Amino acid sequence: MAKPNVISKNELIESAKECLVTNGIEKFTLKAVAEIAGVTQGTVYYHFRTKEQLLIDITKDICDNSWNEISRTNENLLRMALESSKSRCSSTSYYHKLFLTLITSSFTNERIREQMGDILHKENQALSSNLSKIWSENPVEGVSPDTWGIILNSLIDGIAIQALLVKEFPIEKTYSELEQLLLRLTNLSIQEGNQ
């Protein structure tokens, strides 16, 4: 039996995530979300006018939750951020499939492009802000924290693309070596700050 129309947008987003896990992005529909949430399809349409809008809101929710969790700690910030992004590169994770599907849709849909651009901008800022916590000094003169955020965000998304497409992609090795690279940059930053 369907619940009355007193379900929150956040509860629907959680049901939509469950729907993605259960059905995959290929079989994701607003009707399937309504069934999992136990509400009418009209209730889902009330909160999300289109499937794309619901998918964008899921993406925003995942990003916001991830950055909020990472930003709450000062210890092992780098490791937590890398573990979070690595966990989204597995073949069972729907996040990057969803993210890349929306990016592709944004090439022909201005509304999706604006919203995905906002998500990327927010991620770049979160990376810049968190790197500023880790690096007392900029490890490479002439490269701003904002540019570091953009570079690292692009690097993480590029690794995700390869992990999704290359059958035997070395996720563990790649992330381990990426962590070593970032730790070296951190050590350079500390050495610069001590001089």
Q: What pLDDT digit, counting tens, does each position of 136-166 carry?
A: 788 888 999 999 999 999 999 999 999 988 9
Residues 107 and 23 placed together within one structural domain of the fold: no
Together in a domain, 66 and 157: yes
**pLDDT tier for residue 189 given thresholds of 50, 70 and 90:** low
> What local confidence, expressed as pLDDT, does residue 43 receive?
92
Same domain (yes/no): 88, 184 = yes
Indicate if 40 and 74 belong to the same structural domain.
Answer: no
| Number of independent structural domains in the chain | 2
pLDDT at residue 1 in the model: 47
How high does pLDDT run on average in the chain?
Answer: 86
pLDDT of residue 90: 76
| Residue with tokens 């690595």, as numbered in its chain | 86
Containing domain of residue 119, as a range?
Answer: 51-194
**Residue 60 and residue 149 in one domain:** yes
Burial of 99 (0-12, 13-18, 19+ CB in 10 A): buried
pLDDT in tens, 44-86: 999 998 999 999 999 999 888 888 877 776 667 778 888 888 8
Write a three-state SS string for 10-30. HHHHHHHHHHHHHHCHHHCCH
Q: For residues 92 and 14, state if they share a domain.
A: no
104 with 182, same domain: the answer is: yes
CATH of the domain at 83: 1.10.357.10
Percent composition of the chain: helix, strand, coil (DSSP 3-state, to 5): 75, 0, 25
